[in-house]
């Protein structure tokens, strides 16, 4: 059986924040929630998704509060880079559908995806 499993944010989410600056990916939920609260002035316990990227644009983390704890979603691309929206704003607002496009490798501005990769082994 060749089932495909995905853990994805709901495409119907109306608001998701992309933090524009790269973050140190050694940060866990505590460090990222501190950015949300101290730098952005937002309440990290509201259940809103915050997306962070590394300096190389090949990894991202999504942070959100779910009832009784933080959830941290992490994606690392094997090749290529995430296409981060170009703007001077510190925080960019997108919706759930756009976030899923970003996770699929689309350049949201150009609607062009990454190529699909098929590997046989991790070594």
Chain CA centroid to CA 51, Å: 4
Give the pLDDT confidence score for residue 87 in this predicted structure. Answer: 67
Is the C-alpha dihedral spanning 95, 112, 103, 2 positive or negative? Answer: positive
Question: Average pLDDT in the 103-119 region?
Answer: 70
- The residue among 82 and 117 whose pLDDT is bigger is 82
Q: Using alpha carbons, select from 32, 9, 33 the residue that is nearest to residue 98.
A: 9
Cα separation, 25 vs 6, whole angstroms: 22
Residues 47-95 have pLDDT tens digits of 999 999 999 999 999 999 999 999 999 999 988 898 887 767 788 888 8
- The residue among 8 and 59 whose pLDDT is bigger is 59
Look up the pTM and report it. Answer: 0.82
Q: Where are the domains of the chain?
A: 16-103
């Amino acid at each position: 059986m060749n089932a495909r499993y995905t853990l994805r944010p709901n495409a119907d989410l109306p608001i998701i924040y992309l933090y524009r600056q790269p973050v140190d990916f050694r940060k866990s939920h505590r460090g990222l929630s501190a950015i949300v609260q101290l730098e952005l002035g937002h309440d990290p316990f509201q259940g809103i998704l915050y997306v962070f990227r590394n300096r190389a644009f090949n990894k991202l983390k999504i942070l959100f509060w779910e009832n009784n704890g933080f959830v941290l979603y992490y994606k690392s691309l094997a090749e290529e880079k995430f296409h981060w929206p170009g703007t001077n704003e510190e925080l960019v607002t997108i919706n759930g559908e756009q976030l899923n496009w970003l996770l699929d490798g689309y350049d949201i501005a150009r609607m062009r995806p990454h190529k699909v990769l098929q590997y046989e082994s991790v070594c």
